[in-house]
Structure 1
Amino acid sequence: MPSEGTRATGLARLRPLAGVLTALVVAQSGTRISAIAIPWFVLVTTGSATQTGLVAFCEMGPYVAIKAFTGPLVDRIGPRRISWVADVVSSVAALLIPLLHAGGLLSFGALLVLVAVIGAVRSPGDLAKDVMIPEAAERSRVPLERATGLGGVVERLSGTVGPAAGGALVGLVGPMAGLGVNAACFALGSLIVAVALPRGMGQLHGRPAEKAGGEGDREGGYWHSFRQGFAFLRGEPLLLALCAMIGVTNLLDAAYVAVFVPVWAKESGHGPAAIGLVWAAFSITAMVGSLVAATVAHRLRRRPVFFLGWLVTGAPRFLILVSGAPLWVVAVVMGVSGLGGGFINPIIGAVMYERIPTEMVGRVRGIGQALTWAGIPLGGLLGGAAVAAIGLAPVLVASGVVYFLTTNLAGLRPEWHEMDRHRGKGRAGPPHPATPADAAQSAS
C-alpha cells in the first residue's frame, strides 16, 4: 500500500488540474442557473419571446466580440490573474440585478446593460480557465485526453447541478434568487483560483511566446500576437472545419436554450421546473459519457466516435419537443442525447490542444472560440423572432434538419481524417517549469 507521504505527494501533484476543474464547475454552475433565471424572468414579465432573445443577444454579443481579442492578453498577462479578476467583476454585476429589482430600479434597459457587462467580463474569464487546462494536465502528469475528458465531466456536472438548482430556485423562490446564487458562484470561483492554483500557474504564456517569436514578437506587441494566432488558425484545415461546424451548432443550441425550451415549457404548461428537469437529464448522461471518454477515449478512433456522438445528440433534441410526448419521454430522449454529447467535447479539446503550440494557446483559442461562438448572440435573437413569426413547431423541425446536415454530411470532407492521423504527437512548445510535486515524482 502507498504510504501517507506518497499519497500526499500525489494529491499535491494533482492540485493544478483539480483547482482549474473546481473553479470551472463552480463558475459554470452559476452560469447555468442564470441561463434559466434570466430568460424565465423576461418571459413571464413581458410575455415576449423576442425580448427574451434580445436579452440573450446582449449577453452573448459582448462575450463573443471580446473573446476574439483577449487571447493575446491572456498569453501575456497570464490566465490565472485574468480569471480571478473576471470572476470578481462578474459577481458584482450579477448581484446588482436582484438588488436593483428589489429596489424597484431594474428597468428592461438596465437589465440589458448588466447582462452585457456579465457577458463582457465572463468572456476572458472563461478563456483563461480553458487555457490553463493543458498546463494543469502537464503539471499534474495527466494525459491530455483524460484532462479534456475530465473537463467535459466538469462541464456536464455544472450542467446537471446548475439547471436542477436553477429550476428549483426559479419555481419555488423566483428568478432573482437564482441570480443571487449566480453571483455567489462567481465569487467562490475567484476565491478558488486565488487560493488553490499555484502562483506560477499560467506564467508559461508570457515567456515561451518571447522565445518563439523573438524580439520581433515583443516589438510587434498586441496586434502582432493577434495576427500570429489568426495566421496559425488559417493554416489548419481541421481546426477551421471544427470552427465552422461548431459555429452552426452553437447558433442552433443558443436558440434552443434561450428560447425554444422556455417557450415549450410555457406553452406545454410544464413550467420552469421542466426546464431544469430536461437539462439535468441531458447533463447527467453527458457527464457519464464524458467520464467514459476520459477513461477510454485515448484508445478509440476519434473520427467515428465524434460523428456518432453528433448523430445522437443533435436532431433528436429538437424533434422530441414537437412530438407532444409526455415529460418523462422528453427527459429520456434528452438523456440519450446527453450520452452521445459527452464524447464530443473531450475529442475537440484534445485535437485543438494537440495542434496548437503552447505559447499560442491563448490567442488561437480566443480567435477560434470567437468564431465558434459568433452565432450564439444571434441564436436567441433569431430564434425568438422565428418563433414569434411562424410558431415553435416549424422552427424546431427546421432546426433539427439543419443540425443533422451540418454535423453528419460535413464528416465526408477529407480534413476530418486528420483527427486520428496526428494524435499522440503532443503539443508543441517547451515543457513547463517543474513544481516541487513534479520533482518528487518520476516522469510517467
Structure 2
Amino acid sequence: MTGRSWRALIGVLSAQAVAWTGTRLSAIALPWFVLTTTGSATRTGAVVFAEMGPYVLAQLLSGPVIDRVGPARISIAGDLVSMVAVAMVPVLFAVDLLSFWLLLPLVAVVGVCRGPSDAAKAVFIPAATRAARVPLERGTGIASTIERLASTAGPALAGLVVAALGGPYALVVTAVLFGAGAVLVAVTGRKAPHELDETEANDSYVSRLRAGMGFLRRDRLLRSIAGMVAVTNLLDAAWMAVLLPVWARDSGQGPAVIGLLLGVLSGCAVLSGLAAAAIAHRLPRRPVYLAGFLLGGFPRFLPLALGAPLEVTILVYAVCGLGTGFINPILGAIQFERVPEGMYGRVRTLVVAVAWAGVPFGGLLGGMLIARFGLSPALLACGAVYLVTTTVPALLPSMRTEWSKKDKTVPGPAVD
C-alpha cells in the first residue's frame, strides 16, 4: 500500500475515533443535563427525539449526495456545523439564555449534520480495506474496534466531566472533538479513493435515490438485518437515554457509574473486536452472530431490573461486551460485500436509516414505559423483545443460505 493510501486510512479511522468519542460523550452529558435540570424523563426523551429524528431523515436522504460529491466533503461540512451547534449549548447556558425550546432546534441541527457525516466516514472503509488486500471482515472489524474504543473513552470521560462540572460543560469537549474530526478528514481523507457510477452521472437525485431503494428492496438479507437492527437500536436508545440514567438516579449510583458500566461494556467489546478483526473471516457467520447477541444483547437489562449488586452488574456488562465485539464486523462485511461500490453511499445510508428509524423514539419509549409500568418492568420487557428480535433473522430456515454467502476475495490494485 502506498503512503497516500495509508494516510487516507489512518485519517479516516482517526476521524471516526474522535467523532464517535464526541458522540458518545454527548449521549450521556445531554440527557443527564436535561434530566437533572427538568426532572422529567419525558422531556429527556423529547430531546433525544429532536436530535435523532433529523439524524435518521438526513441519513435517508444523503446517500445520492455522498455518492455524487464524495464522502470527504460531506464529512468535513457535517463535522464543522455540528461543532458550532454543540458549542452553542454551553455558551447559552452560561449566559442563562438556554431554554428547553431553544435546546430542541440546536440538537436538531446536530442530528441533521451528524447523519450524513457519520455515513460518509463509513463509505471510506471498503476501498481502504481493499487497497490493503485484507478480508472485509478485518476492515470492518478494525473500524468497529475503533468505535468500541470511542465508546469506552466517551462514556468514561463523560462521567468524569459531568460529575465534576455538569452536563452542559461536557459538551465543550464534544464540540472540540467534532472539529478535530473535520481537520483530520480535510488533511488526509481528501485523497481517499471514491468511485462514481458513470452510468448514473446524468441521473437526477430522485433517480439515484430510487436505485438505492430498489437494490435494498431486492436483497432480503440486508432487509432482514436492517429491520432487526431497527428494533435493537430502538431498545438501545431507550436503555441509554432514559432507562440507564433513571436507574442511576433511583439507585443513588449517579452519572459516574453510567460511565463505568458503559466503559466496561465497550472495553470488553474492544478486546473481542480485536479478535474478530483477526479471525472473523474464518468463522461461520450465523453461529457467531447468534452467540454474540445471546451474550451481548438482552442480558444487559437483567441486573438493572433485578436490582443486582453493582459488582454483579459490572461482571454482566463485561460478559456482554465480550459477546458484542463479533457482531458488527460480520454485519458490516455483509453490507459492503453485497453492494456495488458506486452505490455504497445510497445503500449504506438507506440501511442505516432503516436501522436507526426507531432511535428517535427510544427516549420517548423509555419515558412512557417507566411512567406506565415502572423501571423494572420496563427493563424486563425491553430485554425480552431484544432476545426475540435478534434470534429470528438467523433462525428462519429460508435465510440460512443467505448467511452462508461470503466474498472471500479481497484483491484489487493498490490505490495511489
Question: What band does the TM-score fall into relative to the shorter chain?
Answer: over 0.9
Larger radius of gyration: 1
Contact map agreement 1:135 1:432 (CA 8 A) in 2:
no
> What does residue 399 of structure 1 align with?
382
Contact map agreement 2:135 2:410 (CA 8 A) in 1:
no
Identity of paired residues, percent?
Answer: 49
> What does residue 340 of structure 1 align with?
323
> What does residue 415 of structure 2 align with?
434
> What does residue 203 of structure 2 align with?
220
2:182 equivalent among 176, 190, 196 = 190
Q: Within the alignment, does 1:134 sit opposite 2:134 as a pair?
A: no
Higher mean alpha-carbon deviation, 407-416 vs 97-106, is at 407-416
Q: 1:425 Cα deviation (Å)? A: 5.1
> What does residue 191 of structure 2 align with?
200
> What does residue 329 of structure 1 align with?
312
Q: Within the alignment, does 1:267 sit opposite 2:240 as a pair?
A: no
3-state SS of paired residue (1:356): coil
CA RMSD, 1 decimal: 1.5
Find the aligned partners of 2:409 and 2:287 in 1 and give their Cα distance. 20
Contact map agreement 1:16 1:139 (CA 8 A) in 2:
no
How far does the alpha carbon of each residue in 1:118-167 deviate from its partner, in whole angstroms, 9 at most, with x for none?
A: 01100000000011111121233333111100011011000000000000
Find the aligned partners of 1:147 and 1:173 in 2 and give their Cα distance. 38
> What does residue 401 of structure 2 align with?
417
Q: Within the alignment, does 1:56 sit opposite 2:37 as a pair?
A: no
**TM-score normalised by the chain length of structure 1:** 0.91
Q: 1:13 Cα deviation (Å)? A: 4.3
Q: Within the alignment, does 1:108 sit opposite 2:100 as a pair?
A: yes
Find the aligned partners of 2:271 and 2:132 in 1 and give their Cα distance. 23
Find the aligned partners of 1:219 and 1:13 in 2 and give their Cα distance. 29
> What does residue 69 of structure 1 align with?
61
Q: Which runs of 5+ in 1 are unaligned?
A: 1-8, 436-444
> What does residue 269 of structure 2 align with?
286
Find the aligned partners of 1:319 and 1:383 in 2 and give their Cα distance. 16
> What does residue 361 of structure 2 align with?
378
Amino acid at match of 1:419: W
Task: Give the aligned length.
Answer: 415
3-state SS of paired residue (1:359): helix
> What does residue 155 of structure 1 align with?
147
Amino acid at match of 1:423: D
Find the aligned partners of 1:45 and 1:247 in 2 and give their Cα distance. 30
Amino acid at match of 1:200: K
> What does residue 45 of structure 1 align with?
37
> What does residue 438 of structure 1 align with?
none
Find the aligned partners of 2:277 and 2:251 in 1 and give their Cα distance. 37
Change (3 A) 1:270 1:356: same
Amino acid at match of 2:407: R
2:230 equivalent among 237, 247, 272 = 247
3-state SS of paired residue (1:352): helix
Amino acid at match of 2:24: R
Contact map agreement 1:303 1:417 (CA 8 A) in 2:
no
Contact map agreement 2:216 2:222 (CA 8 A) in 1:
yes
Q: Within the alignment, does 1:118 sit opposite 2:118 as a pair?
A: no
Q: 1:201 Cα deviation (Å)? A: 1.9
3-state SS of paired residue (1:42): helix
2:391 equivalent among 400, 408, 414 = 408
Q: Within the alignment, does 1:307 sit opposite 2:310 as a pair?
A: no
How far does the alpha carbon of each residue in 1:94-134 deviate from its partner, in whole angstroms, 9 at most, with x for none?
A: 00000000011000011111111101100000000011111
Find the aligned partners of 1:367 and 1:13 in 2 and give their Cα distance. 28
Amino acid at match of 2:150: S
Q: 1:12 Cα deviation (Å)? A: 5.2
3-state SS of paired residue (1:374): coil
Contact map agreement 2:5 2:128 (CA 8 A) in 1:
no
Find the aligned partners of 1:25 and 1:68 in 2 and give their Cα distance. 23
Find the aligned partners of 1:251 and 1:22 in 2 and give their Cα distance. 28
3-state SS of paired residue (1:142): coil
Find the aligned partners of 1:255 and 1:95 in 2 and give their Cα distance. 25
Amino acid at match of 2:302: L
Q: 1:273 Cα deviation (Å)? A: 0.2
Q: 1:338 Cα deviation (Å)? A: 0.9
3-state SS of paired residue (2:191): coil
Change (3 A) 1:202 1:90: farther
Find the aligned partners of 2:109 and 2:269 in 1 and give their Cα distance. 30
Contact map agreement 1:17 1:140 (CA 8 A) in 2:
no
Q: 1:177 Cα deviation (Å)? A: 1.9
Find the aligned partners of 1:50 and 1:226 in 2 and give their Cα distance. 35
